[in-house]
């Protein structure tokens, strides 16, 4: 199937080709092309048009939404087909739909057809919009485009917003927009997702000379919501999230506007890896086991804080994130990550951790004169885009002696750790050489005993050396939970649950 986005292929239809004959040029001489490369910055290798065709391989007939390479597509490679499509969808209307639905649910008695509003509404009602990943980027793009102002131009739609793991923007308001694309360093690297402005605050881009902020339009109409922005450190490593709270060149910190709080959940990946983790390499697409560090308890506290802010005018806790000033936000090659050797802790054979300081670079993309980068809108006339030699400067979190992140919200699992949790992982050896394993972090447990650690050559203290017994571990969990509750980064009832789990189970033997 022709792609509409690598992780939403089953839910978004691809755009059909204007001609299923890929060997015959169109009237203007255009001929579709298919190329392959083994990583994003490798040269494209053309695949002859006689070696592929439009249509499903098992169908035997042309199909304007499918592609067949009889020799087979090789996993861990980037295939790009550039073809002339037809029937573009006006995807930007989705933001108008969200705006109008929010207005209806908040204020109307019934819709135009007479259907009664199913929720409580009225002048005292407050509304929150929350989105995770793609829908979080959707929220940010709505705000960028001024779509939190209702259709009549008299008031805001959503009073508060919680974009979760949704850094960057989403390329919907463009001709032939594809909602299933992201911002990864290998797959989707060239698709519109990270364009200036990066931050909620108004800034000047020293590369393009443009001045803007994500909230410019809603500030002009007094329709900005209260915002709690929550992200993981994977969004910093792979998603360039640091550009949301520094200047574009990564030289100094930039404060949030008064209506925004930013929270980075230390040592977490885009979505926690499901348990149990795989016990034999290759670990899915990744080099190491993925990171299971949960976001649940932090997100419950942040949603509670946002609710109190919008409903009761109770200010949330201050932003918690790594910073240049504190030395917890640094260049990738300045991270002092420990040298973790190959090990067989818990009976699982793991390779040595390969920390090579990779990051996801960001140039200015030239997508043609019909594309409006500042609004992530318009028409893409240059595909693939031209890349500037100038680069923005994303930064990444500094780490402690265990390799766990400093700065941001360090949850109980990070403050009383049984291993190293990272916001990055590499692809397995035969996939995308040295590229980030998409949306995956790493988990590398500690040795059980000092003897096992020393035999392996692991610089990280063992479980035995850290805790000694159940009571020491329980004390560490209690201390971390109490501090997080005091900071309002953990709800009291959730602290009781985590402490009870430590009392019942003792030192965790698995993530």
Per-residue model confidence (pLDDT) at position 430: 84
- Identify any residues that bridge with 203 across adjacent strands, giving them in sequence order: 212
Q: With contact defined as beta carbons under 8 Å apart, do 245 and 407 qualify?
A: no
pLDDT of residue 468: 92
**Res. 112: pLDDT tops 70:** yes
Q: Which residue, chain included where needed, has tokens 């109770």?
A: 314
Q: How far apart are CA 10 and CA 180, in angstroms?
A: 10
DSSP code string of 35-81 = EEESSTTSPPEEE-GGG-EES-TTT-S--TT-EE-TT-PPTT-EEEE
Q: How much is the average pLDDT of 242-255?
A: 97
CA distances from 219 to 10, 17, 216, 257, 258 (A): 38, 42, 5, 10, 12
Average pLDDT (206-233) is: 97
Helices 134-144 and 93-107 sit at what angle, rounded to 10 degrees?
90
Q: What is the pLDDT averaged over residues 96-102?
A: 96
Helix axis angle for 296-312 and 492-505, nearest 10°, is 160
Per-residue model confidence (pLDDT) at position 358: 84
- Convert 478-492 into a string of H (helix), E (strand) and C (coil): HHHHHHHHHCCCCCH
> Which residues are paired to 231 by β-bridges?
264
Could you tell me the sign of the dihedral formed by the alpha carbons of 262, 265, 267, 269, in that order?
negative
Q: How far apart are CA 231 and CA 239, in angstroms?
A: 10
Quickly state the pLDDT bin for 224 (edges 50, 70, 90): very high
Give rounded-to-5 percent helix, strand, coil for the chain: 25, 20, 60
DSSP letters for 495-507: HHHHHHHHHHH-S
- Phi then psi dihedrals of residue 135, to 5 deg: -75, -25
Q: Quick check: 9 pLDDT over 70?
A: no
Strand ranges, E, within 274-328: none
User: What integer is the mean pLDDT of 20-30?
Assistant: 97
Do 148 and 156 touch, CB atoms closer than 8 A? yes
What mean pLDDT is reported for the chain? 95
Distance of CA 92 to the CA centre of its chain: 21
Residue pLDDT, tens place only, 324-352: 999 999 999 999 999 999 999 999 999 99
Domain residue limits, the chain = 33-82
Token digits of residue 414: 């990070």
Percent of the chain scoring above 90 in pLDDT: 88
Handedness of CA 296, 298, 300, 302 (dihedral sign): negative
Residue with tokens 């993530």: 511
Q: Is the pLDDT of residue 7 over 70?
A: no
Mean pLDDT over residues 164-169, rounded? Answer: 94
369 close to 381: Cβ distance less than 8 angstroms: yes
Residue 3 has pLDDT above 90, yes or no: no
Peptide bond into 384 cis (omega under 30): yes
Using one digit for the tens of pLDDT, what is the confidence trace for 249-289? 999 999 999 999 999 999 999 999 999 999 999 899 999 99
DSSP 408: S
Per-residue pLDDT reduced to its tens digit, 473-511 = 999 999 999 999 999 999 999 999 999 999 999 998 777
Residue 59 is predicted with a pLDDT of 80
Q: Is the pLDDT of residue 442 over 70?
A: yes
Q: Is the pLDDT of residue 161 over 70?
A: yes
d(C-alpha 235, C-alpha 184), whole Å: 9
Q: Would you say the pTM of this structure is higher than 0.75?
A: yes
Query: Cβ of 102: how many Cβ atoms within 10 Å?
Result: 20
> pLDDT digits over 356-370, tens only?
988 899 999 999 999
**Segment holding 101, helix H or strand E:** helix 93-107
Q: What is the pLDDT of residue 13?
A: 83
């Amino acid at each position: 199937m022709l792609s509409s986005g690598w992780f939403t292929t089953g839910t978004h239809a691809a755009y059909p080709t204007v001609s299923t004959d890929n060997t015959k040029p169109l009237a203007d001489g255009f001929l579709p092309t298919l190329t392959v490369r083994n990583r994003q910055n490798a040269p494209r290798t053309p695949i002859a048009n006689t070696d592929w065709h439009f249509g499903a391989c098992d169908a035997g007939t042309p199909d304007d939404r499918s592609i067949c390479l009889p020799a087979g597509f090789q996993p861990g490679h980037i295939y790009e087909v550039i073809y002339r499509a037809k029937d573009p969808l006006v995807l930007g209307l989705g933001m108008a739909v969200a705006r109008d639905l929010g207005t209806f649910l908040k204020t109307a008695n019934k819709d135009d057809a007479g259907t009664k509003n199913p929720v409580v509404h009225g002048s005292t009602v407050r509304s929150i919009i929350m989105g995770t990943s793609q829908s979080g980027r959707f929220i940010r793009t709505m705000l960028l485009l001024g779509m939190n102002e209702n259709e009549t131009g008299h008031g805001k739609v959503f009073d508060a917003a919680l974009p979760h793991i949704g850094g960057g923007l989403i390329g919907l308001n463009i001709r032939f927009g594809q909602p299933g694309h992201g911002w990864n360093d290998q797959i989707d690297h060239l698709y519109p997702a990270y364009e200036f402005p990066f931050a909620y605050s108004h800034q000047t881009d020293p590369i393009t000379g443009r001045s803007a902020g994500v909230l410019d339009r809603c500030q002009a109409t007094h329709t900005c919501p209260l915002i709690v922005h929550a992200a993981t450190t994977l969004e910093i490593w792979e998603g360039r999230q640091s550009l949301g709270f520094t200047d574009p060149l990564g030289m100094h910190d930039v404060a949030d506007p008064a209506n925004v709080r930013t929270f980075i959940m230390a040592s977490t990946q885009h979505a926690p890896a499901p348990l149990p983790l795989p016990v034999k390499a290759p670990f899915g697409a990744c080099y190491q086991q993925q990171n299971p560090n949960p976001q649940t308890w932090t997100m419950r506290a942040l949603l509670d804080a946002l609710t109190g802010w919008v409903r009761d005018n109770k200010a949330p806790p201050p932003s918690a994130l790594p910073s240049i000033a504190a030395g917890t936000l640094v260049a990738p090659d300045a991270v002092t990550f420990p040298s973790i050797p190959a090990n067989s802790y818990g009976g699982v054979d793991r390779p040595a951790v390969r920390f090579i300081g990779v990051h996801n670079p960001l140039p200015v993309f030239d997508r043609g004169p019909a594309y409006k980068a500042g609004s992530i809108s318009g028409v893409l006339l240059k595909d693939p885009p031209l890349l500037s030699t100038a680069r923005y400067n994303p930064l990444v979190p500094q780490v402690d002696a265990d390799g766990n992140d400093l700065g941001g919200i360090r949850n109980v699992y990070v403050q009383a750790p049984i291993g190293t949790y990272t916001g990055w992982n590499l692809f397995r050896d035969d996939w995308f050489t040295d590229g980030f394993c998409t949306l995956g972090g790493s988990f590398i447990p500690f040795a059980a005993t000092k003897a096992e650690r020393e035999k392996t050559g692991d610089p990280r203290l063992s479980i035995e050396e850290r805790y000694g017994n159940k009571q020491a571990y329980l004390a560490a969990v209690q201390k971390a939970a109490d501090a997080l509750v005091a900071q309002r980064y953990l709800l009291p009832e959730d602290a009781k649950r985590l402490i009870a789990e430590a009392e019942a189970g003792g030192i965790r033997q698995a993530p």
